[in-house]
A and B are shown apart, each in its own frame.
Chain A
Amino acid sequence: MRERLIRVTGVFIVVVYGGLIGWLFASQPKTIAEAVGAVAAGVGAYAIDAQAFADGLAFFRRDQFVEARAAFARADPATRDARTQFYVAYSYYRQGWHRTHHDDELYRRGLEAVQHAIDLAPGGRLRVEDDNLQMHSADELKAELEAGVTTDASDFNPLRVFENRK
C-alpha cells in the first residue's frame, strides 16, 4: 500500500513539475515576477497596484510618458493586465507621434504592447473608456501604430501636418 502511494505521488509530481516546465517554455516569462504573476492570473488571484496605476495615469495625462511607463511597470509587474498594457502602448504612440514624422522604434514597441494587451483581453476584445483618449479600443490603436510604421503614399501628403494626435 505504501509503495503504491509513493508511485502515485511520483506520477503526480512528474505531471505537475513537467507541466510547469512546459508552461515556462511556452509562456517565456522574463522575470520571476512575470512568472509568479502569470500563475496568479491563471487562478484569478492577480491584481494590479491601484496607486501605481493612478500615478501612471497622471503622468500619462501630463505627457510624461517615460515616467508613466515606469509607474505602469510598477502597477503591473507581471504584465498581465490588459488595460495597463493598453495605456503602455498608448504612451508609446503619443511619445512617438510628431507632426512631421513618427518615431518608428517607439511605434514598434507600442505595437508589441498593444498586441500583448489584445492577447490578454478576454476574446481579444479590449475597450477602455477614457475621455482623455481619442482611440478607445485596442484595435484602433493597433491600426494607428501599424499605419505609423508602414510607408505609403499618404506619408508624402503635405496636408498630414494638419493632423492631430489622437
Chain B
Amino acid sequence: MTAVREAVALPMMFLTVVATAAIRPGANGSIVPPSLASLVGSVALLALLVRSGTVAPAQLVNQRRSMLANLNGLSVLLTMFFASAQLLTALVPESGVPALVAWCVLVSLVMQAFAIAPDRTRLLRGLLVMFGAAFALKFIVLAAISAPAESRITRALQVLFEGITLGAVTQRATHPLEGYFAFGAGALYLIAIWLLPPASWRMIRVSQIELPASSVEVTRES
C-alpha cells in the first residue's frame, strides 16, 4: 500500500463518511454523533473485517515500522472505527419498532457472518447487501410512510396507520437530502474498506486445493 493511500486517502475517506453520515439537514438541522449501540456494533464489525482478512492491522501497525508510519496506520484504524459507527447510526431507523427490528436483524447478520467465517470478497458482498437493505428500509420504505401527507386521503390513511400501530412504526420525517448523504457515505465507506490492505493469508475451501497425486496417496495409506 502506498504512503498516500495510507496516510491521506483512507483517513480522509473515513472522516468524510463520519461527516456526511452525521448531517441531518432541514429546518432544525443537526449533527448527530454515533449512538452507543452503534459503537458496540462497530467493534463487532471491525472484528469481522479483521477475521475475514479484509484488513490486516499488523500491516498498519507493527514494530518494524517507523513511529510516523504507525501513527498513520493507527489513524486508519481509528477513523475506520468511527466511520463504521457513524454509518450504522445513519442507516438504522431512529426509534420505535423499526429500530428494534433493524438492530435484531443486524446483530443476527453479524453473528451469522462470524459463524460462516467469510473471506474478503464474500464479506464485502455481504456488507453491500446489509447496508443496501438497511438504506432501503429507512430511506425508502419508512420515509414514504413517515413523509408529510400531500392530500387529505393520504393524511387520513397515515392517521389510520398510526392508530393501528400505536405510532410505533412512524419515524421522524427525513429531509430529501439526508438519503443522498447516507447513500454517498455508504458507497464511500465500502470503497474505503475495499482499499484497505488485505491480510496476506486467504481462506479457501479444502475442495479447491489441488494436492499432488502422491500426497493424496500418502494420506490414504495413513
A binds B: yes
The minimal Cβ–Cβ distance linking A112 to chain B, given in whole angstroms, is 13
Is A21 within 8 A of B19, CB to CB? yes
Chain B window 23-34, contacts with chain A (Cβ cutoff 8 Å), 1 for yes, 0 for no: 000001111010
In the complex the two chains form, what is the Cα distance from A9 to B79 in whole Å? Answer: 16
Is A14 within 8 A of B79, CB to CB? yes
**Residues of A near any B CB (own CB < 8 A):** 3-4, 6-11, 13-14, 17-18, 21, 24-25, 28-31
Residues of B within 8 A of A17 (CB): 11-12, 15
Q: What is the interface of chain B mostly: helix, strand, loop, or mixed? A: helix
In the complex the two chains form, what is the Cα distance from A31 to B182 in whole Å? Answer: 19
Interface status of B61 (Cβ within 8 A of chain A) = no
Interface status of B8 (Cβ within 8 A of chain A) = yes
With A3-B3, A7-B69, A30-B28 given, name 8 new contacts (CB 8 A). A6-B8, A10-B11, A11-B7, A14-B75, A17-B15, A18-B79, A21-B18, A28-B30
The minimal Cβ–Cβ distance linking A13 to chain B, given in whole angstroms, is 6
Query: Please, could you name 13 A-B residue pairs with CB atoms under 8 Å apart, sorted by A?
Result: A6-B7, A7-B7, A7-B68, A7-B72, A10-B75, A11-B71, A14-B11, A14-B75, A17-B12, A21-B22, A25-B33, A30-B30, A31-B29
Is B72 within 8 A of A25, CB to CB? no
Is A14 within 8 A of B15, CB to CB? yes
- Tell whether A24 pairs with B29 under 8 Å between CB atoms, given A6-B7, A14-B15: no
Nearest B residue to A5 via CB reads: B3
In the complex the two chains form, what is the Cα distance from A18 to B16 in whole Å? Answer: 10
Is A11 within 8 A of B68, CB to CB? yes
Residues of A within 8 A of B22 (CB): 21, 24-25
